[in-house]
Amino acid sequence: MHAVAEAHEHAGGRQITVDARQTLPAVSGDLTYLEQILRNLLANAEKYSRRDTPITISVARRGRRMRFAVSDRGAGIPADELKRVFTPFFRSTANGHEAPGVGIGLAVCKRLVEAIGGRIRATPRPGGGTEFGFTLAVDRDWLQAGAAMGPS
């Protein structure tokens, strides 16, 4: 994916790890949307976490859905603000002042994910930081081709 390659280019030595332990199927939706979602989530992880902390991108199939997650070790988001981070122009009271922005990146992610049939969420990470995860449907043609080949 271009978004991941770009993140590695601009990481300035930061460790960015991709965890995809299985053969990944195609997903339903627009590749341009998926790229933009990942760009926005990676940009947020870079902005709101120290340079000496890693960012992890994980991708895994869960039945008929693909789960994507971008995790950082930043200051995190207060629990009462987790749902509001996807509201246009919302900036966290805890760390919104730490980085430039107007609060539209996560709102754009939410709209793009929903436009291609997915769901997005933000959850605190044990030990600090935030995980932004979203799910998309596995492409129907891919599922049918896999069923035609039989169990793997």
Going from N- to C-terminal start, the domains of the chain cover 2-149
DSSP per-residue codes, 46-67: HHTS-TTS-EEEEEEEETTEEE
Alpha carbon distance 126, 128 (integer Å): 6
Alpha carbon distance 135, 128 (integer Å): 23
102-136, pLDDT tens digit by residue? 889 999 999 999 999 999 999 999 999 999 999 99
pLDDT of residue 149: 47
Beta-strand pair 130-137/55-62: unpaired
DSSP per-residue codes, 76-103: ---GGGTTGGGSTT---TTTGGGS---S
Name the band, by pLDDT with cuts 50, 70 and 90, for residue 150.
very low
Name the band, by pLDDT with cuts 50, 70 and 90, for residue 141.
confident
39-91, pLDDT tens digit by residue? 999 999 999 888 899 999 999 998 899 999 999 998 889 889 998 999 999 98
pLDDT of residue 143: 63
92-109, pLDDT tens digit by residue? 887 767 788 888 999 999
pLDDT of residue 73: 94
User: Which residues partner with 133 through β-bridges?
Assistant: 69, 121
The count of residues in the chain is 152
- Pick one of 3.30.499.10, 3.60.21.10, 3.50.50.60, 3.30.565.10 as the CATH number of 2-149: 3.30.565.10
